[in-house]
Each structure stands twice: as C-alpha cells, then as structure tokens.
A and B are shown apart, each in its own frame.
Chain A
Amino acid sequence: MLTAQFLYGGAGLVLFALGLWSFLVHEPLLRKIIALNITGAGVFHVLIAIAYRGDVAPPDPVPHALVLTGIVVAVSATALALMLGARLQDAEEEDRRR
C-alpha cells in the first residue's frame, strides 16, 4: 500500500460524505445536483487513487475506464435532472399565474 493511495482515497471519502450531507440538507434542486456530482466525484476519486501504483509501476487502467464511464453517466443524469427541474419550474410558474 502507498501513502498516496490512502491520502487521495481518503480525500475521496471525505468528498463522498460531504456530497451526501449537502444532498440531504439542502433543498434547492441545483444544490442537490451539485451535491450528487460531488458525491460521485468522491467515489471516482477513490477509484483513481487505488489505480495509482507509484511513480514506477504504470497505473491500473481498469478503474480509469470505470471512472470514464461513470463521468459520462453522471453528466447524462445531471442533464436530465436539470431539464426536469426546468420543466417543473415552468409548470409552477404557469400555476402561479393562473
């Protein structure tokens, strides 16, 4: 085990807890989405940290590929959630105007 793996991975876990906290306590949609993205980034960070194998050995490519996949999934979900939120906002404004 490398110290760097532990340090960077630990930071990822902090980000996971931080995002989770923000998701649970903050109400506005945009803040929830940012929180989810930070939670996800925390998990990705753990994966990148365990892939790192020091200066000499090349890194493990499998977690890298997993994170790449995860990034695209995260942005897809973010886009859909934001647009659903926009739709909801429009509907609420319409209701209020009535």
Chain B
Amino acid sequence: MTDPLVLCIALPLVGAMLVTALPRWSVRLGIVSALATAGAAVALTAAVWQQGTLHLILGGWDAQLAIALRADGLATALVLMANLVGLGISVYATGYFHDRLRVRSFWPLWLLLWAALNGLFLAGDLFNLYVMLELLGIAAAALGALTGNRDAVAANLRYLLVGLLGSISYLLGVALLYTAHGTLDLGLLAQRIAAAPELFAVNAAAMALMVAGLALKAALFPLHFWLPPAHANAPAPVSAALSALVVKAAFYLILRLWLDLFWPITGMAAAMLPALLGAVAVLWGSWRALRAERLKLLAAYSTVAQIGYLFLFLPLLTATPPGPARDDLLAALLLMAVTHGFAKAGFFLAAGLVQTNAGHDRIDDLGGTAQRLPATTFAIALSGSALIGLPPSGSFIGKWLLMQGAIATGQWWWVIVVTTGSLLASAYVFRVLSRAFGLEPTPLKFITDARAEVPALTLALISVAVLGLASGPLWTLLGLSAAGSGTGGGV
C-alpha cells in the first residue's frame, strides 16, 4: 500500500538526500525527483477528487499522541499548484545554474524546500507545522543567498532572522494552546476551542501570537520590509519559488488557523485588522512596483500587493453565512492564490531570462527585448495580465467574486481598493511592456532557449487560460472536501 499523502513529502526528501550524497548527478537525480514528486501530487489530487478529504494518522497511534496528515480540497489545490510550479522551476533550473558549486547547492536545498512546502500544506498538527515552517525558512534563506553577492546575503540573512522570530512567536502560541487544551492535533483542537468559550482570552492570545508570527512570514504590510530585497536579489528560479510558493505557504497557514481553529472566536473586528493591512499592502505594493527601477524588484513588490488581496477575504468570509455565497468566496480566494502562484513564477522565470540575456534587469533599458526574446516577452505579458486580473485569467474571476462579496456584505470600500490596485497593476505591467517593445535600433537576433522559455511560458499560460477558462474543477475539489467532512457524499 502506498499513500500519495506520504509520497508527496517522502519523495522530495529522498531526492534531496540522493542529490546531496551524489553531487555529480545532481541535475539528473534532481529532475527525476521533481517529476516523481509532481506525479505524487497529481496522484494525491486524483485521490482527493475521488474520495474526498484524506486523513492519515502516522504511526498507528491514538490521534492525540501521533501526528496526522490530511488533504482537503484547499490543501490539495495548493499542493497541486505548488508541485506544478515546482516542476516548472526545476526544468528552468537545469539550464540556469552553470557554476558547479551553485548547481550542487541548489538541488538539495530546493528539494528540501519542496518537501517542506508539501509537508506544510498537508500537516494536521501544530508542532509539526512549526518544524515545517523552520525547514521552509532555513531552506528558503539559504537558497536566496545562493548568488553569494553582498546584497543577496544581507537580504536573506535578514529574511532568516525575521522568519525565526516569526516561528518563535508561532511556537509560543502553540505552547499556550497545548497548556490550555492538551493536544496539538488540529482537528481535536478545533473541537476543544469551540467547546471552551470561557477560554477566550487564552485562545485569542494564542491566535494573536501565531497569526502575527505568520504575518511576518507572509509579508503582510507593514511586516513586508524584508521581502523586496530578498526576492529581488535571489537567483531567478529561487525568486519564483519564494514569491509564488513560500510566502503563500505562510498565508495558507493563517487561513487554515483562521477558518479551522479559531473560527469560533474570530469576529468582524479581528478580521478587519488584517484586511485593512492587506488593503494598504495592495495600494503600497502596487505603487512601489510602479516606481521600481528593476524588473525583479517590481515583481517582488507586486507580490506584497498580491498577498494583500488575499487578506481582504477574511472580513468577507466572516460576514457571509455558510452557504453557496461563502463557498464562492473561498473558491475565489483559492483561485486568486493559485493564479498568483503560476503567474508570479512565470513572471520571475521570464525576468530571469531577460536578466541573463541583457546582463541587467533595469526596466528603462529593456528596449528591444521583445525583438530579441519574443517568447519571454510574451510570457511576461501573459503573467502580467494575470497579475492585473484581465479577463480570461483566474484572478479576474477571483477579483470579480471578491467585489461581489464586498458589495453583498455591505463592505463596498474594498471595491475601491481592488479597482485601484488593478489600475496600478496595469500601469506597472504596461510600463514594462512598453519599454520592452520600444522601437530602438536593435540587432535582430532571436534567442531561443527552450529549457528556460517553455516553463516560463507554460506557467504564464496556465495562470491566464487554464485557470480562467476551466476553473470549475476547483469548485468541485472544494465542494468535495466539504461533502467529505459534512454529508459524506461522493461526486
């Protein structure tokens, strides 16, 4: 018997070990591990699709004593996104790194990061989540510093320290919850929190500590200060992983805690604070992206803004009673997170290509890029339109439902934030494109590098076309998870 739930974590882990032990074959072993891991993620998705939420208690002990893994629709959708993006990044990385030291350092750390991501999405235990957060943070900081230049090392050292602070804060929250409720299992804890309204102060304090620590890792304004330099200075495939996946993992955990664990104690006031910060993040991040001088810095600030959108959903989810309207909101949230994952990864990979070919990524000097790198420019345009939220993209539907929910719950002011953010986003994307299409005298020389261009283009295409035109399955995946835990119905 093999369980895709376990394989999603164990395969990249074994891959990381083999790559570490046999550095000479790191690229070949690395790409095999990437394929195997992505395969496990697809198998997991298929299993959740057919059977609903999967739940596994490791070690065969009582649920309290052991660690549980679980995959519901939300987790599975994110695992699938992370693993497809991960596969794209892996293919891209085979051609990106040339220095032997970099190649040998990248693959094991990247596979460890991947294992941590899958582990985090699938974990059902608060302390196990802490370990995953630490693995994620350490591997991410090490990868970000891989270029070895001063700015990258400084930025990622700061990222590491900030991340550690965040996880310590999270751990204190876990300690408080264990003190009061005597369990670390997410499911059991949810029941006990719901059953003990008299412990409101304890639960609220634990929640504040955990959410604050995670908001630091998710770069919620004003705790985003570490993100732009860390993401802009990392090697392109690493930037893609950090911006598209790692930050999202921290947000996912906030959402998980908010919806599953602390639902009974979160009122409108509690949801308003992160949403207000998210709104500022949307405006501030988009504005800074517009003003950025470098392409990768622009993408990093755009991540700050895009994470902000996700926090806007919290008060809407709080105000909407359970039912189809709330399901739509949840699906929209997921759609925006997943779309951003694909789009930002595609954007960063394309930006990396521009950088390696031009020797720089200064936006004002991008003239002629469209002529030299047509496919890459197309990838930037596609992912850019997904970042804006133009029609066929997944984020168009997401934003649409977000605004619909805002109006339905009488919180019309978020509509202004979303519209302004989208306008700013179109401004920064078009700024890049207008420079890239600039009609400067350029030597007409096509550069094609399939290994690098195909992943960038594919990820960008998924964000625009696949997720927008065929977003139905996402609803089914989420619906299935609801049916699995509630009425127990099938397809």
Contact = CB atoms under 8 A, between A and B. Distances in A.
A77 B138 contact: yes
Interface stretch (B34-42, B141-149, B215-223, B256-264): B141-149
A23 B156 contact: no
Contact of A77 (B145, B153, B160): B160
A95 B179 contact: no
B282 to A, nearest CB: 27
B255 interface: no
A84 B130 CA distance: 23
Contacts of B465: none
Contacts of B157: 29, 81, 84-85, 88
Interface string A1-34: 0000000010000001000100100000100110
Contacts of B154: 88
Contacts of B127: 66, 69
Nearest to A95: B150
A92 B150 contact: yes
A16 B288 CA distance: 35
Q: Chain A's interface: helix, strand, loop or mixed, by majority?
A: helix
Given A84-B145, A88-B150, A36 B178 contact: no
Contacts of A87: 145, 148, 153
Interface string A45-77: 011001000000000001100100110010011
B64 to A, nearest CB: 9
Nearest to B157: A84
Contact of A39 (B65, B134, B148, B165): B165
B29 interface: no
Nearest to A81: B160
Q: Which of B131, B141, B168 has the most CB of A within 10 A?
A: B168
Interface string B85-127: 0000000000000000000000000000000000000000001
A80 B168 contact: no
Contact of A80 (B142, B148, B150): B142
Q: Is the interface of B mostly helix, strand, loop or mixed?
A: helix
A47 B184 CA distance: 13
Chain B: interface residue count, which band? 20 to 34
B159 to A, nearest CB: 10
B164 interface: yes
A9 B178 CA distance: 13
Interface string B153-176: 110110011001100100110010
A36 B168 contact: yes
Given A36-B161, A91-B149, A46 B175 contact: yes
Interface in B435-462: none
Nearest to B65: A62
A35 to B, nearest CB: 9
Nearest to B142: A80
A63 B150 contact: no
Given A43-B168, A69-B131, A84-B157, A63 B148 contact: no
Contacts of A46: 172, 175, 179
B131 A47 contact: no
Contacts of A43: 168, 171-172, 175
Interface string A78-98: 001100110110011001000
B138 A80 contact: yes
A75 to B, nearest CB: 12
Contacts of A32: 161
Contacts of A16: 168, 172
B178 A76 contact: no
Interface of A: 9, 16, 20, 23, 29, 32-33, 36, 39-40, 42-43, 46-47, 50, 62-63, 66, 69-70, 73, 76-77, 80-81, 84-85, 87-88, 91-92, 95
Leading 3 A-B pairs by shortest Cβ distance:
A91-B150, A84-B157, A43-B172
Interface of B: 65, 127, 130-131, 134, 137-138, 141-142, 145, 148-150, 153-154, 156-157, 160-161, 164-165, 168, 171-172, 175, 178-179, 184
9 contacts: A39-B165, A40-B171, A70-B130, A76-B134, A77-B137, A84-B157, A87-B153, A88-B150, A88-B153
